[in-house]
Amino acid sequence: MATPQIDNLNVVPFVSVDNMMKLVLTIGVETVICGIAEQIESDFKRWESFDKTARIASHSKEGVIELMPTSDGEVYGFKYVNGHPKNTKEGLQTVTAFGLLADVDTGYPVLLSEMTILTALRTAAMSAVAAKYLAPKGAKVMAMIGNGAQCEFQALAFKTICGIDTVRLFDIDPVATDKAVLNLQKSGLTVIRTHSHQECVTGADIITTCTADKQYATILTDNMVGSGVHINAIGGDCPGKTELHKDILLRSDVFVEFPPQTRVEGEIQQLDEDHPVTELWKVINGDENGRTSEQQITLFDSVGFAIEDFSALRYLLNAIKGSNFYDELDMIADPDEPRDLFGMVQRAKANL
């Protein structure tokens, strides 16, 4: 893949939250999700060309701060991200993030961006890409348990990429469901408010779980899950945080991004280390089977992986070209003589 090109090596394009919102609204939320999904599929097809490492995490009682790096040998990327479920009660975001792309040949950064909004878009895109290969044919109804910040993005991604026409909503906080119903009222989806986990999943072809609390939880019990469904489990994303009863995992064919990370952070942290899972990139490449029968329960145990963020940033870098939706940051020192950094600092006195 070609190294990103910028006109001036001494400034770095920066996409702020304000510009990200303007870009997304100008292009369209669903169009952006589709674009990121296409980039993710393209990058997953060349999975073996990437450096791969489980994210570097600093855990605390209240949450986690993580660094997620990768490189394809030509472009390097990383994301800084936190996850603090208690933040919502304080009027703060559970997840905040920023990310960077750099040219491997020079080490110069070529993009810096907010990734709080971009992560929500790429998480939804990743879920829909997985469902494209794993969900039952003709799936039309999705249950969405957990109606927080990710809810609407997931609903729109599944509508646009997978063809669902109905979303059933449940959250233990009815205010969160009120918010989701309002935000989705002009989405083209039939939106149904439900009043329990069991009611929410009734009649659903796809079940998405996306709750925030950092605890071993049982959002879905075994008796709630019938044959033939696809489960999109995206809430469990760190040690000590799960959403599904262990018996559901034992009945399902489990698909993951990067096993060394998922076994520590995902739903499968509940299972033995040798429990078989299938890497999603192999399904996308046709090397492994995805859904093979109408009765099969497929489960995408998604914790998020650095290559997905790399894909989102690659999409963004292309999307801002020729637009006004970024600022130029003076981040790179540019002395007249590369070895005379001190002299450059001294000469700046003239401008004080």
Q: Which residues belong to the active site?
A: 237
Contact 257, 40 (CB under 8 A): no
Around 129, how many Cα atoms within 13 Å sit in the side-chain half-sphere?
31
Provide the β-strand partners of residue 253. Answer: 298
Please state, in angstroms and rounded to a whole number, the distance separating the CA atoms of residues 131 and 129. Answer: 5
Rg (the chain; Cα; Å): 21
Contact 231, 225 (CB under 8 A): yes
Q: 218: burial class by Cβ within 10 Å (0-12, 13-18, 19+)?
A: middle
CB atoms within 10 A of CB 193: 16
Contact 201, 268 (CB under 8 A): no
Strands 56-59, 64-71: pairing is: antiparallel
Across 85-175, the runs of DSSP E, i.e. the strands, are 97-103, 109-114, 141-145, 166-170
Question: Hey, is 298 helix, strand or coil?
Answer: strand
Contact 279, 262 (CB under 8 A): no
Amino acid identity of residue 263, one-letter, is: R
